Amino acid sequence: MSVAEQAASAPAKELEALSITKTVNEGDNDNSDDEGEAGNPDEGGGSGGAKKKKKNKKRNKKKKKAGAAGQSDELTVPVSQLFASNGYPEGEICEYVDDNRYRTTSEELRAKDRLNEQQIFDLRRAAEVHREVRQNVRQRIKPGMDLTTVAEMIENGTRVLSEASGFASGIGFPTGLSLNHCAAHYTPNAGDHVVVQADDVLKVDFGVHVNGHIIDSAFTMTWNDRYDPLLAAVRDATNTGVREAGIDVRLGDIGAAIQEVMESYEIELDGKTVPIKPIRNLCGHNIGPYQIHSGKSVPIVANGDQTPMEEGELFAIETFGSTGAGYVNEEGVCSHYAMAPGTHPRPRIPSAQKLLHTITKNFGTLPFCRRYVDRLGESHYYLGLKTLVDSGVVMAYPPLCDVKGSYTAQFEHTLLLRPTVKEVLSRGDDY
């Protein structure tokens, strides 16, 4: 979501060394027990129309990205200390195709690209933090763990590796740890004691920001291989959305391509064959400085939206699949909040005034959760929070759930539509 800025400036030559050729990630998934088999991330440039994705297409191996040698098992080394030149790894580079093919070699657009070097530098730093944290915690999250422990493990790692410092760097939004039929927007509040079970489907969605430039990426974990087709479907659908995304591509065309892929999968549960459905009222989104949702939505079903993606935009491409109704409703106690953009009248209730000051000072328009407020030493603030929500100063985002007894999965990547190439910033060895 969002707020002010600060930042270490990138070396002037950092972007001049960018590869213009398409980088194909070639390596096998190291966590097949978590995700099952999925299609390869066809690195097309998103020229426009959606292409049919074949479910059984053979995967290409992905090239391992340069790892951060020297990171400790406890995530104690900031990424700035692991990359001495301050040149962070680039994401997956995808050349534009068809009518946009000229962009790859255009000297004018290369010069335009260099004007955005600070943004790209910040995003790559945030992406490296995300990769290192998630690759570490994916080995440590196990059945029997309390979700509060899981959240704090992810968040503490993010704070250390990003050298968290207010609006300069740190956590992008609360860690989502949604189980089973709950698809999104659950993180534990103080006093919650939810324990991961061996038969659970856990969505892990967390963000990292540097100077308000947010990397938003998510994955799903399971410990029972019966869910492999569900994870494969969603991962394949997300990769399809990533492939189709591009300058001038219509958002509705991306949704149609995602839906076609997702619905080509099915899963057997308890002796019954169940179709896998996209959750039609969840979607991806573009991202602005300090603003996790900044206006455009990327559907995961065909909806006829003719709005185009545009040069320079940053998008989170995320898809959700379900064995249930394919539709979510708000359910349960809220934990996610964010201050609404714009100016707001001063609350009349003292507790609301005090809390608004705390939110403005520490989060701005970046999302937050109750645990983050607790961590700042605030107490007895529930009346103030309710007042701010009721008056529209703060937006509440309760958990989003499909029908009970169903299972949902999520995968998500952040990509930047640079003038010359599409860069999938959050791509890694794992997904």
pLDDT tens by residue, 90-103: 999 999 999 999 99
Q: Show the tokens assigned to 135.
A: 């690759």
Rounded-to-integer distance, Cα 235 and Cα 140, Å: 21
> DSSP code of 261?
H
Is 290 a residue whose pLDDT tops 80? yes
Can you say whether the dihedral through the CA atoms of 232, 234, 238, 241 is positive or negative? positive
Interval 50-87: pLDDT, tens: 333 333 333 333 443 444 678 888 899 999 999 877 68
Mean pLDDT of the chain: 87
The pTM assigned to this predicted structure is: 0.85
Is 352 a residue whose pLDDT tops 90? yes
Interval 178-202: pLDDT, tens: 999 999 999 999 999 999 999 999 9
- Our separate counts of H helices and E strands in the chain read 10, 18
List of residues 6+ apart from 335 with CB closer than 8 A: 174, 185, 186, 187, 188, 189, 369, 370, 371, 399
Q: Show the tokens assigned to 6.
A: 């600060």
> DSSP code of 323?
S
List of residues 6+ apart from 84 with CB closer than 8 A: none
Predicted confidence band of residue 157 (pLDDT cuts 50, 70, 90): very high
- Asked if residues 366 and 3 have their Cβ atoms less than 8 Å apart, the reply is yes
Helix, strand, coil percentages (3-state) for the chain, rounded to 5, are 30, 25, 45
Q: Per-residue pLDDT averaged across 246-260, rounded? A: 98
Q: Per-residue pLDDT averaged across 136-160, rounded? A: 97
Interval 295-351: pLDDT, tens: 999 999 999 999 999 999 999 999 999 999 999 999 999 999 999 988 888 999 999
Catalytically annotated residues: 205, 216, 285, 293, 318, 412
pLDDT at 341: 87
Q: Which amino acid is at 193?
A: H
The dihedrals phi and psi of 132, each to the nearest 5 degrees, come to -65, -40
